[in-house]
Amino acid sequence: MHKSVSVVLVFLVLVGCQPNTEPEAPPLSAEIIIAPDYSALSNVLAGDWRTDKAKARDAYRHPAQTLDFCEIDPAGQIAEVWPGAGWYSQILLPWIHANGGHFTAVAVDPARSEQAADLLSRYLEQYAEPELYGAFSHSILSATSAPVATADSQDAILTFRNVHSWMGRGMSEKAFADFYAALKPGGILCLVEHRLPSAAVQDSKAPTGYVQEAMVKALAAEAGFLFEASAEINANPDDMTDHPFGVWTLPPVKRSPRDDDERAANPEFDRAFYDALGESDRMTLRFRKPATAPTAEANQP
Protein backbone atom coordinates (compact mmCIF):
# COMPACT_ATOMS: atom_id res chain seq x y z
CA MET A 1 0.00 0.00 0.00
CA HIS A 2 1.19 3.47 -0.78
CA LYS A 3 2.52 5.29 2.26
CA SER A 4 0.23 8.32 1.83
CA VAL A 5 -2.85 6.10 1.61
CA SER A 6 -1.85 4.34 4.86
CA VAL A 7 -1.53 7.67 6.63
CA VAL A 8 -4.99 8.70 5.49
CA LEU A 9 -6.51 5.44 6.70
CA VAL A 10 -4.88 5.77 10.11
CA PHE A 11 -6.15 9.35 10.40
CA LEU A 12 -9.68 8.27 9.58
CA VAL A 13 -9.57 5.50 12.15
CA LEU A 14 -8.29 7.87 14.86
CA VAL A 15 -10.96 10.44 14.05
CA GLY A 16 -13.64 7.81 14.29
CA CYS A 17 -12.47 6.88 17.75
CA GLN A 18 -12.74 10.44 19.12
CA PRO A 19 -15.72 11.28 21.36
CA ASN A 20 -18.49 13.33 19.79
CA THR A 21 -17.67 16.94 20.48
CA GLU A 22 -20.90 18.31 19.01
CA PRO A 23 -22.87 20.23 21.72
CA GLU A 24 -25.94 18.35 22.88
CA ALA A 25 -29.32 20.04 22.92
CA PRO A 26 -30.23 21.20 26.43
CA PRO A 27 -32.84 19.05 28.14
CA LEU A 28 -36.39 20.37 28.25
CA SER A 29 -36.88 22.22 31.52
CA ALA A 30 -40.08 22.56 33.53
CA GLU A 31 -41.83 25.91 33.37
CA ILE A 32 -40.64 28.20 36.14
CA ILE A 33 -43.51 29.96 37.86
CA ILE A 34 -42.54 33.16 39.63
CA ALA A 35 -44.83 34.05 42.52
CA PRO A 36 -46.24 37.58 42.49
CA ASP A 37 -44.43 40.11 44.63
CA TYR A 38 -46.91 40.67 47.44
CA SER A 39 -44.82 43.47 48.86
CA ALA A 40 -46.53 45.52 46.14
CA LEU A 41 -50.08 46.47 47.15
CA SER A 42 -51.31 46.30 43.53
CA ASN A 43 -50.40 42.59 43.40
CA VAL A 44 -52.19 41.95 46.68
CA LEU A 45 -55.35 43.64 45.42
CA ALA A 46 -55.29 41.35 42.38
CA GLY A 47 -54.68 38.24 44.53
CA ASP A 48 -56.69 35.17 43.61
CA TRP A 49 -57.67 34.56 47.27
CA ARG A 50 -59.85 37.67 47.00
CA THR A 51 -63.22 36.75 45.55
CA ASP A 52 -64.84 38.64 42.70
CA LYS A 53 -67.43 39.86 45.21
CA ALA A 54 -64.71 41.28 47.46
CA LYS A 55 -62.92 42.94 44.55
CA ALA A 56 -66.17 44.49 43.35
CA ARG A 57 -66.31 46.52 46.57
CA ASP A 58 -62.96 48.16 45.78
CA ALA A 59 -64.96 50.69 43.77
CA TYR A 60 -66.65 51.83 47.01
CA ARG A 61 -63.89 51.23 49.56
CA HIS A 62 -60.86 52.40 47.54
CA PRO A 63 -58.30 50.37 49.49
CA ALA A 64 -55.20 51.55 47.61
CA GLN A 65 -56.04 55.24 47.97
CA THR A 66 -57.21 54.80 51.57
CA LEU A 67 -54.06 53.02 52.74
CA ASP A 68 -51.94 55.59 50.94
CA PHE A 69 -53.80 58.42 52.65
CA CYS A 70 -53.40 56.65 56.00
CA GLU A 71 -49.61 56.56 55.39
CA ILE A 72 -49.43 52.87 56.24
CA ASP A 73 -45.92 51.45 56.21
CA PRO A 74 -46.37 47.67 55.75
CA ALA A 75 -42.98 47.04 57.33
CA GLY A 76 -44.31 48.37 60.65
CA GLN A 77 -46.55 47.23 63.48
CA ILE A 78 -50.11 47.61 62.19
CA ALA A 79 -53.40 46.84 63.99
CA GLU A 80 -56.89 46.65 62.55
CA VAL A 81 -59.72 47.11 65.05
CA TRP A 82 -62.90 45.06 64.71
CA PRO A 83 -62.03 43.59 61.32
CA GLY A 84 -65.28 41.63 61.08
CA ALA A 85 -65.02 38.85 58.52
CA GLY A 86 -61.82 40.42 57.24
CA TRP A 87 -62.48 42.34 54.03
CA TYR A 88 -59.53 44.64 54.74
CA SER A 89 -57.54 41.91 56.49
CA GLN A 90 -57.39 39.98 53.20
CA ILE A 91 -55.43 42.93 51.87
CA LEU A 92 -53.45 43.95 54.92
CA LEU A 93 -52.20 40.54 56.06
CA PRO A 94 -50.37 39.47 52.87
CA TRP A 95 -49.05 42.97 52.24
CA ILE A 96 -47.68 43.39 55.75
CA HIS A 97 -46.28 39.85 55.83
CA ALA A 98 -44.46 40.32 52.51
CA ASN A 99 -42.88 43.53 53.78
CA GLY A 100 -41.69 42.13 57.10
CA GLY A 101 -44.20 43.94 59.30
CA HIS A 102 -46.53 42.52 61.93
CA PHE A 103 -50.34 42.58 61.99
CA THR A 104 -52.65 42.56 65.00
CA ALA A 105 -56.37 41.89 64.68
CA VAL A 106 -58.27 43.56 67.51
CA ALA A 107 -61.51 41.60 67.56
CA VAL A 108 -64.96 41.94 69.05
CA ASP A 109 -65.10 40.20 72.43
CA PRO A 110 -66.15 36.58 71.72
CA ALA A 111 -67.79 36.48 75.15
CA ARG A 112 -70.33 39.02 73.96
CA SER A 113 -72.42 36.55 72.00
CA GLU A 114 -72.37 33.25 70.16
CA GLN A 115 -72.24 35.21 66.91
CA ALA A 116 -69.16 37.15 68.05
CA ALA A 117 -67.43 33.94 69.15
CA ASP A 118 -68.18 32.30 65.81
CA LEU A 119 -66.94 35.35 63.92
CA LEU A 120 -63.57 35.28 65.69
CA SER A 121 -63.24 31.52 65.29
CA ARG A 122 -63.88 31.73 61.54
CA TYR A 123 -61.50 34.68 61.20
CA LEU A 124 -58.63 32.84 62.91
CA GLU A 125 -59.28 29.73 60.82
CA GLN A 126 -59.51 31.62 57.54
CA TYR A 127 -56.20 33.41 58.00
CA ALA A 128 -54.23 30.44 59.34
CA GLU A 129 -52.11 30.26 56.18
CA PRO A 130 -48.61 31.35 57.29
CA GLU A 131 -47.13 31.26 53.80
CA LEU A 132 -49.57 33.88 52.53
CA TYR A 133 -50.69 35.73 55.65
CA GLY A 134 -47.77 35.22 58.01
CA ALA A 135 -48.04 34.91 61.77
CA PHE A 136 -50.23 37.58 63.33
CA SER A 137 -51.50 38.50 66.77
CA HIS A 138 -55.02 39.07 67.99
CA SER A 139 -56.53 40.83 70.96
CA ILE A 140 -59.94 42.07 72.12
CA LEU A 141 -61.64 45.45 72.35
CA SER A 142 -64.69 45.77 74.55
CA ALA A 143 -66.04 48.09 77.23
CA THR A 144 -64.06 46.15 79.85
CA SER A 145 -61.16 44.69 77.84
CA ALA A 146 -57.47 44.85 78.65
CA PRO A 147 -55.14 46.95 76.46
CA VAL A 148 -55.46 46.16 72.76
CA ALA A 149 -51.66 45.99 72.46
CA THR A 150 -48.54 46.68 74.48
CA ALA A 151 -48.19 50.37 75.29
CA ASP A 152 -46.36 52.44 72.66
CA SER A 153 -46.00 49.42 70.35
CA GLN A 154 -48.04 50.16 67.23
CA ASP A 155 -47.02 52.31 64.27
CA ALA A 156 -50.59 52.59 62.99
CA ILE A 157 -54.11 51.58 63.97
CA LEU A 158 -56.84 51.25 61.35
CA THR A 159 -60.56 50.84 61.77
CA PHE A 160 -63.36 50.87 59.23
CA ARG A 161 -66.99 51.78 59.96
CA ASN A 162 -66.97 51.01 63.68
CA VAL A 163 -67.26 54.29 65.60
CA HIS A 164 -71.06 54.14 65.60
CA SER A 165 -70.93 50.69 67.22
CA TRP A 166 -68.68 51.95 70.01
CA MET A 167 -71.03 54.87 70.57
CA GLY A 168 -73.99 52.52 70.71
CA ARG A 169 -72.27 50.46 73.40
CA GLY A 170 -71.11 53.47 75.39
CA MET A 171 -67.44 52.60 74.88
CA SER A 172 -66.23 55.15 72.33
CA GLU A 173 -64.13 57.10 74.87
CA LYS A 174 -62.45 53.91 76.06
CA ALA A 175 -61.78 52.78 72.48
CA PHE A 176 -59.96 55.97 71.52
CA ALA A 177 -58.05 55.98 74.80
CA ASP A 178 -56.96 52.37 74.17
CA PHE A 179 -55.74 53.27 70.69
CA TYR A 180 -53.79 56.22 72.02
CA ALA A 181 -52.09 54.05 74.64
CA ALA A 182 -51.15 51.35 72.11
CA LEU A 183 -49.64 53.68 69.52
CA LYS A 184 -46.01 54.71 69.51
CA PRO A 185 -45.38 58.46 69.91
CA GLY A 186 -45.96 59.84 66.43
CA GLY A 187 -48.14 56.84 65.51
CA ILE A 188 -51.20 57.09 63.27
CA LEU A 189 -54.87 56.41 63.92
CA CYS A 190 -56.75 56.29 60.62
CA LEU A 191 -60.43 55.56 60.31
CA VAL A 192 -63.34 55.46 57.92
CA GLU A 193 -66.89 56.04 59.20
CA HIS A 194 -70.38 56.61 57.82
CA ARG A 195 -70.84 60.39 57.80
CA LEU A 196 -73.85 62.19 59.21
CA PRO A 197 -74.33 65.71 57.81
CA SER A 198 -73.36 68.46 60.23
CA ALA A 199 -76.88 69.93 60.02
CA ALA A 200 -78.47 66.68 61.22
CA VAL A 201 -79.09 65.83 64.88
CA GLN A 202 -76.45 63.51 66.33
CA ASP A 203 -77.88 60.84 68.61
CA SER A 204 -75.28 59.87 71.23
CA LYS A 205 -75.93 56.18 70.45
CA ALA A 206 -75.70 56.65 66.65
CA PRO A 207 -78.59 54.22 65.98
CA THR A 208 -78.62 54.91 62.22
CA GLY A 209 -74.93 54.04 61.87
CA TYR A 210 -74.03 57.59 60.83
CA VAL A 211 -71.76 59.87 62.87
CA GLN A 212 -70.89 63.53 62.44
CA GLU A 213 -67.29 64.28 61.54
CA ALA A 214 -67.11 66.77 64.38
CA MET A 215 -68.11 64.03 66.82
CA VAL A 216 -65.29 61.74 65.71
CA LYS A 217 -62.78 64.56 65.92
CA ALA A 218 -63.96 65.40 69.43
CA LEU A 219 -63.58 61.79 70.60
CA ALA A 220 -60.06 61.64 69.16
CA ALA A 221 -59.06 64.99 70.66
CA GLU A 222 -60.36 63.96 74.08
CA ALA A 223 -58.04 60.94 73.97
CA GLY A 224 -55.07 63.18 73.11
CA PHE A 225 -54.87 62.77 69.33
CA LEU A 226 -54.00 65.56 66.93
CA PHE A 227 -56.21 65.80 63.85
CA GLU A 228 -53.99 65.71 60.79
CA ALA A 229 -56.02 65.37 57.59
CA SER A 230 -59.29 64.32 55.99
CA ALA A 231 -60.00 62.93 52.53
CA GLU A 232 -63.03 62.47 50.34
CA ILE A 233 -61.75 59.13 48.99
CA ASN A 234 -64.79 57.26 50.31
CA ALA A 235 -67.40 59.98 49.90
CA ASN A 236 -70.76 59.38 48.23
CA PRO A 237 -72.58 62.68 47.65
CA ASP A 238 -75.73 60.80 46.54
CA ASP A 239 -76.24 59.33 50.01
CA MET A 240 -78.83 61.45 51.79
CA THR A 241 -78.23 59.37 54.99
CA ASP A 242 -81.93 59.23 55.96
CA HIS A 243 -82.99 55.65 55.29
CA PRO A 244 -85.67 53.35 56.74
CA PHE A 245 -83.10 50.96 58.23
CA GLY A 246 -80.29 53.41 58.68
CA VAL A 247 -77.04 52.82 56.85
CA TRP A 248 -77.86 49.11 56.70
CA THR A 249 -80.54 49.87 54.08
CA LEU A 250 -77.72 50.43 51.60
CA PRO A 251 -75.33 47.90 50.10
CA PRO A 252 -73.66 45.72 51.12
CA VAL A 253 -76.17 44.80 53.89
CA LYS A 254 -79.30 45.77 51.89
CA ARG A 255 -81.71 45.46 54.80
CA SER A 256 -85.33 45.44 53.61
CA PRO A 257 -88.72 45.17 55.28
CA ARG A 258 -89.81 41.70 56.34
CA ASP A 259 -93.19 40.45 55.26
CA ASP A 260 -94.55 41.03 58.77
CA ASP A 261 -93.13 44.56 58.93
CA GLU A 262 -95.60 47.40 58.39
CA ARG A 263 -93.00 49.10 56.22
CA ALA A 264 -93.29 46.23 53.73
CA ALA A 265 -96.54 47.75 52.54
CA ASN A 266 -94.92 51.16 52.06
CA PRO A 267 -94.97 51.79 48.30
CA GLU A 268 -92.14 54.29 48.73
CA PHE A 269 -89.66 51.58 49.71
CA ASP A 270 -87.80 50.76 46.54
CA ARG A 271 -84.97 48.24 46.92
CA ALA A 272 -83.60 49.12 43.49
CA PHE A 273 -83.38 52.81 44.46
CA TYR A 274 -81.20 52.10 47.49
CA ASP A 275 -79.05 49.64 45.58
CA ALA A 276 -78.41 52.28 42.93
CA LEU A 277 -77.22 54.72 45.61
CA GLY A 278 -74.28 52.44 46.30
CA GLU A 279 -72.49 52.29 49.63
CA SER A 280 -72.69 55.04 52.24
CA ASP A 281 -71.10 58.46 52.30
CA ARG A 282 -67.97 58.03 54.43
CA MET A 283 -65.44 60.30 56.06
CA THR A 284 -61.78 59.26 56.00
CA LEU A 285 -59.77 60.83 58.81
CA ARG A 286 -56.14 60.63 59.92
CA PHE A 287 -55.02 61.44 63.46
CA ARG A 288 -51.61 61.29 65.07
CA LYS A 289 -50.40 60.66 68.58
CA PRO A 290 -48.03 63.52 69.47
CA ALA A 291 -44.37 62.62 69.13
CA THR A 292 -43.79 64.12 72.57
CA ALA A 293 -46.18 64.33 75.50
CA PRO A 294 -47.75 67.78 75.95
CA THR A 295 -46.28 69.80 78.78
CA ALA A 296 -48.28 71.06 81.72
CA GLU A 297 -47.80 74.62 80.45
CA ALA A 298 -49.27 73.69 77.09
CA ASN A 299 -52.46 72.55 78.79
CA GLN A 300 -52.95 75.85 80.59
CA PRO A 301 -55.78 78.06 79.24
pLDDT band per the 50, 70, 90 thresholds, residue 9: very low
- Which sequence spans correspond to the domains of the chain? 38-239+278-293
Q: Name the strand (E) or helix (H) holding 195.
A: strand 183-196
Three-state secondary structure along 130-181?
HHHHCCCEEEEECCCCCCCCCCCCEEEEEEECCHHHHHHCCCHHHHHHHHHH
The pLDDT tens digits for 10-23 are 333 444 445 555 55
| pLDDT tens for each residue of 47-66 | 999 999 999 999 999 999 99
Q: Out of 3.40.228.10, 3.40.50.2300, 3.40.50.150, 3.40.50.300, which CATH number does the structure's domain 38-239+278-293 have?
A: 3.40.50.150
pLDDT tens, 67-125? 999 999 999 999 999 999 999 999 999 999 999 999 999 999 999 999 999 999 999 99
